[in-house]
Amino acid sequence: MEELMTKKVLIIIFALVVFINSRALANPNIESGSAMLMEADTGQILYDKNSNVKQYPASITKVLTAIIALEHNELEDVVVVGNDVPNQIESGSSAIYLIPDEKLTMEQLMYGLLVESGNDVAVAIAEQTSGSVEEFSKLMNAKAKALGANDSNFVNPHGLHNENHYTTAHDMALIMREAIKNPILLNLMTTKNYIIPETNKQDTRYLWTKNRLYRSDTGEFFYDKVIASKTGFTSVARNTLLSAAEENGMRLIAVVLQSNGVASYSDTINMFEYGFDNFVTSTLVNKNEFIQEYSIQDATSPLKIVSRSTVKYVVNKDNDKEIVASINISKDLSPSIKEGEKIGTVEYSLDATKIAEADLVSGNELESVNSVRFNKIIKSLVWVLPGILGLYIFARLYVFVKNTQIRKRRYKRQSAIKYIKKSSNNEYSKY
């Protein structure tokens, strides 16, 4: 295991004072069988009641259906309703009464899914996306597992009762956490009404939400902080409600399952108010934030340590304890480090309990002294070598020319001697 050097530093959030109340907070009064309040950025659980108990979700299933629909389709896609769509839902259940061979856009179907909560719409979307409800359910379960919703099983896209179609409050919070990242879904889940124009099979449709959190701003359960919400009901699941709200930049997710009547709304509002009244999201460190400088032997300059990511943590607004950061730097760092290379971690703890962690990376590139010297030598050779090569070529040419001249003179002398000898022989032959 890589050796680490640890340095502890006091991290003081919001003007170096974070207050974590020594007194226990009074939990909200929740009637629903299962409930959870989660902070969206961090995933921290602020309130929990039977959140891992398996329950039936009813129509809040459609939030997962909508996530998958937008991942696999375009809003302008034209959908032709299949012949068997009306027969795949319970008679009398929520629907917009799609007709076989009717043509609508995916956008119109999405409003039918999340505003009117049409079960027939969910089937049409499933068939358009995957060819069948069974194949679409495979996508639903794969997506749920990818989001960490490991205690759920989905067998249909609408949430009508099936013994094998179940979830937990915790899993639905994770699904909503994903949904609110998409601005299209945020709009869909707060739309009060929508008009689907006349189609090739049906007159104009008028869709109205039944969600009392945002249906009317004068209603008893109207909640102006809500940014997304979906209702559900079956006789077995009872009332279910999946919602998100925002105040002062903090987003909270509330889930209630196995609720009765309007208790789903009052429980949701009570959890939201409990969260906003008592907690605040603090940024422990920002992405690329400078942490400190660190000297490495044989390096040409100090190492600048920065955070790879932003780390947030939700704390109680009233508290007298400090968050401690432990900076762990690898002991065997080389003097040659690339920018962005991981060089350690920073761990945040509260009351000696780890609450968060971030990777630390190099904010600059380092070179070793020896490497710099070697590079200088190489650079100097780049200038010297051409000169040496030129001298070498010149010398070779000079020698070649000189040798050529010598050979020519030698040849001339030899030719002259041969001529003289020949002339002498001719003279002697006359006598």
Residue of 207, 209, 200 whose CA lies nearest to 231: 209
- For 50-109, the DSSP string reads STTS-B--GGGHHHHHHHHHHHH--TT-EEEPPTTGGGGS-TTSS-----TT-EEEHHHH
C-beta of residue 151 within 8 angstroms of C-beta of residue 173:
no
Rounded CA gap, 334 and 373, in Å? 16
Catalytic residue among 59, 94, 137, 229: 59
Rounded CA gap, 228 and 61, in Å? 14
Beta bridge pairs of residue 279 = 316
62 included as an active-site residue: yes
Cα 199 to Cα 79, 108, 196: the distances in Å are: 12, 11, 8
Give rounded-to-5 percent helix, strand, coil for the chain: 35, 30, 35
Q: Which positions make up the binding site for substrate? A: 230
295 included as an active-site residue: no
Catalytic residue among 94, 117, 152, 259: 117
349 included as an active-site residue: no
Q: Which positions make up the binding site? A: 230
Three-state DSSP at 268 gives helix
The length of the chain is 431
Three-state DSSP at 36 gives strand
Q: Which active-site residues does the annotation give? A: 59, 62, 117
